[in-house]
Amino acid sequence: MTEAIPLPTQIFLGHSRKMVDLLEPRIGDIRIEEIAHNLSHICRFNGSTAQPYSVAAHSVFVSKLVRAGGGSAWSCLAGLLHDGTEAYLGDVSGPLKRSGYVQGYEEVEGRWAAQIERFAVLHRGALTSTRVKAADIEALAFELHFLLGYLDPRLPRPTSTHHVLFDECPPFGPAAAREFVLQFRELTVEMKLEAATTVDG
């Protein structure tokens, strides 16, 4: 019987031109431009929408929903980066993650999430906070209705506010990546101002 050849766990990142280990991420592996670029080319809903709609656009939408719900710059940044791990690991559909058939994936995802949180100076668990999860569900409800024509009675009903915020998010490609990076930079500056105000106060 032929022994299986061990496959490497490293991948090559085209944007930053470097190799990273998928199983052992480091904070130095994280680049916001890379996250933005990669997510702007990954489609939501396994690409089943009529027009391309990226994870980057979804992330910006979630961040805006956090803001609309009264969230701080810290929470908005967490909303923006909540799917950041997918830039390195790819998008695994929610139902498959929850099924238990992808054992080990959540552990590796958690490692990447921890490094992204360190990179963005967010507290541990920020990407999966209650506020971010609520905004993510709101976004899902609107996207299902608007992009796929499906109104799930278990989810929050879409509103005109959702539509306005959704229209502010470029759906795919370079425009989506630029908006993602712009949101990151603006929120980072706002966070620093909030921190300075807290210290001065």
CATH code for the domain in which residue 194 is found:
1.10.3210.10
What does the pLDDT read at residue 144? Answer: 97
User: Does residue 13 form part of some domain?
Assistant: no
53 contacts 171 by C-beta, under 8 angstroms: yes
39 contacts 62 by C-beta, under 8 angstroms: no
Helix (H/G/I), strand (E/B), else coil: 121: coil
In DSSP terms, which residues pair with 12 in a beta bridge?
19
- pLDDT tens over the chain, length 201 residues: 556 666 678 888 888 888 999 999 999 999 999 999 999 999 999 999 999 999 999 999 999 999 999 999 999 999 999 999 999 999 888 888 888 888 888 899 999 999 999 999 999 999 999 999 999 999 999 999 999 999 999 999 999 999 999 999 999 999 999 999 999 999 999 999 888 876 655
What does the pLDDT read at residue 100? Answer: 80
User: Does residue 27 form part of some domain?
Assistant: no
What does the pLDDT read at residue 77? Answer: 98
What does the pLDDT read at residue 199? Answer: 60
What does the pLDDT read at residue 2? Answer: 58
What does the pLDDT read at residue 200? Answer: 57
User: Does residue 160 form part of some domain?
Assistant: yes
The continuous run of DSSP H or E covering 180 comes out as helix 173-200
What's the farthest any 2 CA atoms get from each other in the chain?
Answer: 70
Task: Return the sign of the alpha-carbon dihedral for residues 86, 89, 95, 99.
Answer: negative
User: Does residue 43 form part of some domain?
Assistant: yes
CA distances in angstroms from 142 to 133, 164, 200, listed in the order given = 14, 11, 40
User: Does residue 44 form part of some domain?
Assistant: yes
Domain count, the chain: 1
Q: Domain residues for 180?
A: 32-93+125-200
User: Does residue 115 form part of some domain?
Assistant: no
User: Does residue 17 form part of some domain?
Assistant: no
User: Does residue 23 form part of some domain?
Assistant: no
